[in-house]
Amino acid sequence: MSKLVTIERFIFDNQPEYAKGDLTNLLYDIALAAKIISHKTNRAGLQDILGRAGAVNIQGEEQQKLDVFADQTIFRICDHPGRLCVMASEEQDNVLHIPDQYEKGRYALVYDPLDGSSNIDVNVSIGTIFGVYRYKEWELRGRKEDVLQPPRDLVAAGYILYGSSTMMVYSTGQGVHGFTLDPELGEFLLSHELMRLPEPPAYYSVNDAYFNRWEPEIQSYMRWLQGYAGVGDIAAPSLSGRYIGSLVADFHRNLLRGGIYMYPAEKQKPDGKIRLLYEAGPLAFLIDQAGGYASTGREAILDMTPTELHQRVPVFIGNRSLVEKVEAFVRKEQPIRL
Ligand code: P6P
């Protein structure tokens, strides 16, 4: 029988000595937000919270009521305890400043409050993604510069998956750890300690309806993944296709079983769809901690400094062997066949 450890206890016991303060408490706060959002998500169909909130966000996407609720919940929990100097949300045009009446802290929080929200009405798993940076300059803390940092400089990153169960998965640079919510206790309990990407990988995740929009090298890579003869210098591992259309759900399954999630650039989306700051960056930090790799196909996502809050990047993330093969195809170092 596995040991019974709450996320609060695990965070406290595993933080470096110097960090047993704001960062520890910030992760507690995020876990509380996760419980509140999970409670609301699991009852979405019963409380007429489904459907549109009537607004459109910076991405030009219809805001679902749960999007708005999740965004407000995270902000209201994190704006006043004095751990943060600034926040950035997928749902907000600009950075979110700490209200004047509250003390500013040492950290900057970036988050996608509810990724995959178009799946809410069809009861498909959705998720929250977050990343935590340390301030850039103490006297000037609270600016956009505090969040526009490369994912390699994250001090923490994680996600919450609202699925058949609610899980919180995070890393502070000492490995990736997963916790499952016991809704009766209201506690996240340690369920996946030190998660590592398994080899060989089992899945590839991509919306292949866009195949004809991709550059030829990516089309060839897809044919390699699918086992076509005469493509690539070695045979691809035998993979199954799994695409949920919810990044956190696809990422989580691939983290547990091995695989690659892809959202390539295309003619209509030259930078792809996934946002660097609060989606690809935190997940790149996590996959690195789990022994994997994240790339745009041309450069490591971990080392990209965002220039804008809502900057998009092409994403290939998962087992290093699969992701590095994309880069080899893009460099035209691989035999291709279409
Ligand atoms: P498409 C959800 O909107 C999201 O950002 C990810 O969660 C998901 O993987 C992707 O977009 C789905 O996009 O174009 O395949 O519908």
Report the residue among 273, 276, 312 best suited for mutation to probe ligand 1: largest number of ligand atoms under 8 A from its CB. 273
So what's the pLDDT on residue 111?
A: 98
Question: Torsions phi, psi of 205, nearest 5?
Answer: -125, 115
Question: What is d(CA 254, CA 242) in angstroms, rounded to the nearest whole number?
Answer: 9
Report the residue among 206, 247, 251, 312 best suited for mutation to probe ligand 1: largest number of ligand atoms under 8 A from its CB. 247
Predicted confidence (pLDDT) per residue in 204-218, tens digit: 999 999 999 999 999
One-letter identity of residue 145: E
Find out whether the peptide bond into 99 is cis, omega within 30 degrees of 0.
no
So what's the pLDDT on residue 134?
A: 96
> In the block, which residue shows the tokens 């009537």?
54
Q: What are the start and end residues of each CATH 3.30.540.10 domain in the chain?
A: 7-192
Q: What are the start and end residues of each CATH 3.40.190.80 domain in the chain?
A: 203-330
Q: How far is the CA of 12 from the centre of ligand 1 (A)?
A: 34
pLDDT digit string (tens) for the chain, length 338 residues: 778 899 989 988 888 766 668 999 999 999 999 999 999 988 776 666 666 677 777 777 766 688 999 999 999 999 999 999 999 999 999 999 999 999 999 999 999 999 998 888 898 999 999 999 999 999 999 999 999 999 999 999 999 999 999 999 999 999 999 999 999 999 999 999 999 999 999 999 999 999 999 999 999 999 999 999 888 888 889 999 999 999 999 999 999 999 999 999 998 899 999 999 999 999 999 999 999 999 999 999 999 999 999 999 999 999 999 999 999 999 988 877 66
Question: What is d(CA 20, CA 297) in angstroms, rounded to the nearest whole number?
Answer: 38
Q: Which atom of ligand 1 is nearest to the CA of 246?
A: 7
So what's the pLDDT on residue 63?
A: 65
Q: What is the CATH number assigned to the segment(s) 7-192?
A: 3.30.540.10
Q: Which residues line ligand 1 (CB under 6 A)?
A: 115-116, 118, 207, 245-247, 273
Q: Which atom of ligand 1 is nearest to the CA of 248?
A: 7
Question: What is d(CA 129, CA 113) in angstroms, rounded to the nearest whole number?
Answer: 7
Q: How far is the CA of 269 from the centre of ligand 1 (A)?
A: 13
Distant-in-sequence, close-in-space partners of 173: CB < 8 Å, separation ≥ 6: 155, 156, 289
Predicted confidence (pLDDT) per residue in 153-165, tens digit: 999 999 999 999 9
Which letter does DSSP use for residue 336 in this model? -
Q: What is the CATH number assigned to the segment(s) 203-330?
A: 3.40.190.80
Q: Which atom of ligand 1 is nearest to the CA of 61?
A: 3
Question: What is d(CA 245, CA 90) in angstroms, rounded to the nearest whole number?
Answer: 18
So what's the pLDDT on residue 19?
A: 66
So what's the pLDDT on residue 155?
A: 96
> In the block, which residue shows the tokens 């408490």?
25
Among 189, 96, 104, CA closest to 144: 96
Question: What is d(CA 50, CA 120) in angstroms, rounded to the nearest whole number?
Answer: 7
| Tokens at 232, concatenated | 């690539």
How many H helices and E strands in the chain? 7, 15
Query: Which protein residue has the closest C-alpha to ligand 1 atom 12?
Result: 245
So what's the pLDDT on residue 187?
A: 95
So what's the pLDDT on residue 31?
A: 96
